[in-house]
Amino acid sequence: MSNRLNSTPNDLRAFWMPFTANRQYKKEPRLFVGAKDMHYTTHDGRQVLDGTAGLWCVNAGHCRPLITEAIREQAGELDYAPAFQLGHPKAFELANRLIDIAPDNMAHVLYTNSGSESVETALKVALAYQRVKGQGSRTRLIGRERGYHGVNFGGISVGGIVSNRKMFGTLLTGVDHLPHTHQPAKNAFTKGMPEHGGDLADELERIVTLHDASTIAAVIVEPVSGSTGVLIPPKGYLQRLREICTKHGILLIFDEVITGFGRLGAPFASQYFDVKPDIMVTAKGLTNGVIPMGAVFVTAEIHDAFMTGPDHMIEFFHGYTYSGNPIASAAALGTLDTYRDENLLTRAAEIAPYWEEKLHSLRDCPNVIDIRNLGLIGAIELKPIDGEPTKRAFNAFLNAYNDGLLIRTTGDIIALSPPLIITHEQIDELFDKLRKVLMNNI
């Protein structure tokens, strides 16, 4: 523990931190005590430029007035309303506002409290939909290698990150996986969407042939994979997945937890790629990361299939105590107002060319083996240190933090996803700092 923390009442032992090297952290803690717009303030009084929008969620930047004010007001007016068989106005208002900006085939919204819960909700809707349509044999779920769909059992079953899966038994049965699309030998240093790999979508045909379409309920993919280290879909890949799903009556689920709310320069990746899923999973940017909340979007066809039987009967046995919580709803409305007033859902499209140019200018730095980007997302893949995988990127993370820049690493990949309010000057500052880190023998 640092001297400074020793002199405060803080005791760091009780909190078992998530996805954290707890022992390293507690020897050398990194605490944020404040934030405004593009910057965090650390416990030792330094400013840190946010290169990752927190955890891909603070799309409008930090402590934005419309959001904090909406939360403050709502907390004093209606703190909580039961979510089952009762409601409150803002949950309905928010659903309509979300449908207004969603792909035009989306008609209804279910609320959750996180990306992980949104994934579970989407998988359950898909399975139940097939059943209410009289296709109860469609129980298989298809995910993808290197996919990240949160940490709950459904999500890690369809996900494809080994360390997130291997400790937890047999997971859901009846799950199969598409191959991932990362082909560095062919696509390294591609700007935007890679040329090679679109045909990997045809692997879905092989999986259909193996199991038979009548056993498959849904395919779930991230349009752009984030947590596995930023994998941009090859040209034509998502279109092809859509065609194959439609051909075989399989639902297509897009996990838009990181791509939703403007990350690529359109409200959702579905619009950016012009590919319409049947179900869309969101969270993070929905409330600017400020209050936990997720939303799952479904088509009218899916929703309407459940609306049968006596009126007094519950149509779908699923939901959370905090589904559409008033304070979360208010935060989301304040977030949507901020996005609208500042054109943030499309701003990434304007700034992406400059972002791309500056990101790829790091190509000459030592140990950089790939750089990739789309919208306001960037990744720099580093050559692992022999015998010590992940250490080079972790060193870069620590050095960047000490130098006033927040980056995120996964494996030996640096992932960047700044708030959508970033200026050209701040992009310069970010990449100047990162160049220094990479040149410095990490």
Residue 117 beta carbon to ligand PLP: minimum distance, rounded to whole angstroms: 7
Residue 255 beta carbon to ligand PLP: minimum distance, rounded to whole angstroms: 4
- Told to check if 258 binds ligand PLP by CB under 6 A, we report yes
Q: Which is nearer to ligand PLP, 257 or 362 (CB)?
A: 257
Q: Taking contact as CB under 6 A, which single stretch among the options 43-51, 101-109, 143-151, 203-211 is the one that binds ligand PLP?
A: 143-151
Number of separate helices (H) and strands (E) present in the chain: 17, 15
- Told to check if 437 binds ligand PLP by CB under 6 A, we report no
191 to 250, contacts with ligand PLP by CB under 6 A? 222, 226-227
Environment class of 20 (CB within 10 Å of its CB; exposed 0-12, middle 13-18, buried 19+): exposed
Q: Where are the beta strands (DSSP E) in 366-437?
A: 368-374, 377-382, 405-406, 408-410, 413-416
Within its chain, how far is the Cα of 259 from the centroid? Answer: 6
Residue 19 beta carbon to ligand PLP: minimum distance, rounded to whole angstroms: 9
Q: Which is nearer to ligand PLP, 117 or 278 (CB)?
A: 117
Binding mask 77-116 for ligand PLP (x = CB under 6 A): -------------------------------------xxx
d(CA 316, CA 299): 15
Q: Which is nearer to ligand PLP, 286 or 344 (CB)?
A: 286
> Hey, what long-range contacts does 95-98 have (CB within 8 A, 24 or more apart)?
95/295, 97/333, 97/336, 98/286, 98/295, 98/297, 98/332, 98/336
Residue nearest to ligand PLP (CB): 115
Query: Token pair of 132, please?
Result: 């209410």
Backbone angles phi, psi at 12, to 5 degrees: -90, 0
Q: Which is nearer to ligand PLP, 283 or 382 (CB)?
A: 283
Query: Token pair of 399, please?
Result: 């050095």
Residue 118 beta carbon to ligand PLP: minimum distance, rounded to whole angstroms: 7
Residue 143 beta carbon to ligand PLP: minimum distance, rounded to whole angstroms: 11
DSSP 313: S
Q: Which residue has the tokens 């792909």?
A: 103
Residue 168 beta carbon to ligand PLP: minimum distance, rounded to whole angstroms: 16
Whether 371 and 360 have beta carbons less than 8 Å apart is answered as yes
Who contacts 124 (Cβ-Cβ below 8 Å, separation ≥6)? 154, 318
Q: Which is nearer to ligand PLP, 61 or 147 (CB)?
A: 147
Q: Which is nearer to ligand PLP, 227 or 325 (CB)?
A: 227
- Told to check if 120 binds ligand PLP by CB under 6 A, we report no
Bridge partner residues of 144 (DSSP): 178
- Angle, to 10 degrees, between the axis of helix 326-341 and the axis of helix 65-77? 150
Binding mask 281-300 for ligand PLP (x = CB under 6 A): --x-----------------
Q: Which is nearer to ligand PLP, 57 or 345 (CB)?
A: 57
160 to 189, contacts with ligand PLP by CB under 6 A? none
Q: Which is nearer to ligand PLP, 67 or 257 (CB)?
A: 257
Backbone angles phi, psi at 84, to 5 degrees: -105, 130
Query: Token pair of 66, please?
Result: 């419309």
Residue 400 beta carbon to ligand PLP: minimum distance, rounded to whole angstroms: 20
Interface residue with ligand PLP among 119, 201, 377, 420 (CB under 6 A) is: 119
Find, among 169, 166, 126, 164, the residue nearest to 147 by Cα.
164
DSSP secondary structure, 223-253, as one string: SSB-TTT-BPPPTTHHHHHHHHHHHHT-EEE
Within its chain, how far is the Cα of 26 from the centroid? Answer: 27
Q: How many residues bind ligand PLP (CB under 6 A)?
A: 14
d(CA 42, CA 30): 7
Residue 426 beta carbon to ligand PLP: minimum distance, rounded to whole angstroms: 23
Residue 115 beta carbon to ligand PLP: minimum distance, rounded to whole angstroms: 2
Q: Taking contact as CB under 6 A, which single stretch among the options 101-109, 190-198, 252-260, 266-274 is the one that binds ligand PLP?
A: 252-260
The residue ranges that bind ligand PLP (CB under 6 A) are 114-116, 119, 148-150, 222, 226-227, 255, 257-258, 283
